[in-house]
Amino acid sequence: MSDKDLRYTAEHEWVDARDGVATIGITAYAAERLGDVVYVDLPEVGAAVQAGTVIGEIESTKSVGELYAPVTGTVTEVNAAVVDAPETVNADPLGEGWLVRVDYAELPELLGADEYEALTRA
């Protein structure tokens, strides 16, 4: 998967939306800014999430960042491997470091790769 195929939020989450399921993680930019991730708190499977609301936390040696839901729906899967090995978020934020999967009915307007890149340069 190319980062050009993903959609993004201004809060530095990426979304890979396919067939009503959104795979969500934090961007490489966010992972780099956070520093070494040491703890990840994710919602429970079955939790209802609302776009724009906090659904988890990512703690690093530098700070604690909040994970926002980019879509409204129901959590269908959490990446337990990231909970057990949080450093995976730094090592592969766009791949093995994905965080949650959410079933959604409607995909909100999200940023394209070029728009997100412009945001990170601002």
Structural contact between residues 82 and 56, judged by C-beta atoms closer than 8 angstroms: no
**Assigned fold of 3-108:** OB fold (Dihydrolipoamide Acetyltransferase, E2P) (2.40.50)
Per-residue pLDDT tens, the chain, 122 aa: give them: 456 679 999 999 999 999 999 999 999 999 999 999 999 999 999 999 999 999 999 999 989 999 999 999 999 999 999 999 999 999 999 999 999 999 999 999 999 999 999 999 97
Domain residue spans of the chain = 3-108
Helices within the chain (DSSP H only):
28-34, 80-84, 88-91, 113-121
Phi/psi region, residue 94 (left: phi>0; alpha: psi -120 to 50; beta: rest), is alpha
pTM value is 0.94
